[in-house]
Structure 1
Amino acid sequence: MKPMRMHHVGIVLNTREAADKFLETFDLEIDYEGFVEAYQAELIFTKYTENESPVELIIPKEGSPLKNFNNGKGGIAHIAYEVEDVEAVRQEFESKGMEMLEGSAVPGTSDIIVNFLKPKYGQGILVEYVQTVGPIQR
């Protein structure tokens, strides 16, 4: 399934203070914030225009599998593509012998479900697939 567009780039920053500094340094504005239970992480999405994609700042909580990302230093975690049907993407990759991180899509923020293609199939890059399932609740 061909992606519809790039949805965002995800960056792990281990504290809210680091996220706030990133926003300040690059003069970025917050569009919305959320929490992803499956990965125990706060998320901040930046505002964007129709010609650009937002940045997702990921702040893992204690116990999050992302807390030790890049040996605890954080950094660019993934690129994300929007698709019409994330489950169809999983089935397509599995039919080619590739694996996703999750057996089925997991809830992201209030408006999306997600799944990730394991990095070994993306030349070392973690690629997220995002399906919009409802309106953003701000």
Structure 2
Amino acid sequence: MTDDTPSGKRAENVTFPDVGLLRIDHVGIAVADLDEALRFYADSFGLHCVHQETNEEQGVREAMLAVGDGDGPRLQLLAPLRPDSAIAKFLDRNGPGLQQLAYTVTDVEAAAAALRARGLRLLYDAPKRGTGGSRINFVHPKDAGGVLVELVEPASGGTPVG
């Protein structure tokens, strides 16, 4: 196996642990007003909210929306609670829109270790609390083609929120 690392160096015969991605968990969208965004997605696209919460640690109000029968990946709406939150800073820089792509993993720490072994940087040394009590970490967007990638280990052992 050949490793094409972000540094451009090639390492021959390197074996990496499996990252363990199970599926796309959700796509995160930064919004300025959660209630307004919930109405828009319900009225415009027929999406329905299956979960809402406030995450003080992350500085967001959030909602998970389902498409159709509710099976499959979710759409996550993220609104800032305070001006110093990551979502508030994202909105200041970019305006509302796509903010992250999240994958479900069985073990967020093992996935993070596998990605670090590949030379990718993660935002946290240890997982943080995410939606519905999940454990999360993020791959730095500069190491993932400009995309903020979230790793989500669901609290219920793999069952999506909702």
> The TM-score by the shorter chain falls in which range?
0.7 to 0.9
Q: Relative to structure 1, is the Cα distance of residues 50 and 25 closer, same or farther in structure 2, using a 3 angstrom cutoff?
A: closer
Q: Relative to structure 1, is the Cα distance of residues 10 and 137 closer, same or farther in structure 2, using a 3 angstrom cutoff?
A: closer
Once the 2 structures are TM-superposed, how far is the Cα of residue 97 of structure 1 from its aligned partner? 2.3
Report the equivalent of 1:54. 74
* Alpha-carbon distance between aligned partners in 2 of 1:51 and 1:15, rounded to the nearest angstrom: 26
CA RMSD of the aligned region, Å?
A: 2.2
Q: Which aligned runs of 4 or more in structure 1 are off by greater than 6 angstroms?
A: 135-138
* Alpha-carbon distance between aligned partners in 2 of 1:86 and 1:72, rounded to the nearest angstrom: 28
Over residues 80-115 of structure 1, what are the superposed CA-to-partner deviations in whole Å (9 max), with x where a residue is unaligned? 100000001111122222210111110012331110
Q: Which amino acid aligns with 1:44?
A: A
* Alpha-carbon distance between aligned partners in 1 of 2:89 and 2:77, rounded to the nearest angstrom: 15
Of the two, which has the highest radius of gyration?
2
Q: TM-score, normalised by structure 2?
A: 0.76
Residues 26 and 74 in structure 2, CA contact (< 8 A), matched pair in contact too: yes
Q: Across the two proteins, how many residue pairs are aligned to each other?
A: 138
Report the equivalent of 2:89. 68
* Alpha-carbon distance between aligned partners in 1 of 2:119 and 2:72, rounded to the nearest angstrom: 33
Once the 2 structures are TM-superposed, how far is the Cα of residue 3 of structure 1 from its aligned partner? 0.7
2:75 aligned with 1:32? no
2:123 aligned with 1:101? yes
2:29 aligned with 1:8? no
Q: Which amino acid aligns with 1:27?
A: G
Q: Which runs of 5+ in 2 are unaligned?
A: 1-18
- Return 47-56 or 62-71, whichever deviates more: 47-56
Q: Relative to structure 1, is the Cα distance of residues 128 and 60 closer, same or farther in structure 2, using a 3 angstrom cutoff?
A: same
Residues 3 and 83 in structure 1, CA contact (< 8 A), matched pair in contact too: yes
- Return 93-102 or 6-15, whichever deviates more: 93-102
Q: Which runs of 5+ in 1 are unaligned?
A: none
Once the 2 structures are TM-superposed, how far is the Cα of residue 133 of structure 1 from its aligned partner? 1.9
Once the 2 structures are TM-superposed, how far is the Cα of residue 25 of structure 1 from its aligned partner? 1.6
Q: TM-score, normalised by structure 1?
A: 0.88
Residues 111 and 136 in structure 1, CA contact (< 8 A), matched pair in contact too: no
Aligned equivalent of 1:88, options 100, 110, 126? 110
Q: Secondary structure at the match of 1:91?
A: helix
Residues 68 and 74 in structure 1, CA contact (< 8 A), matched pair in contact too: no
Once the 2 structures are TM-superposed, how far is the Cα of residue 34 of structure 1 from its aligned partner? 1.3
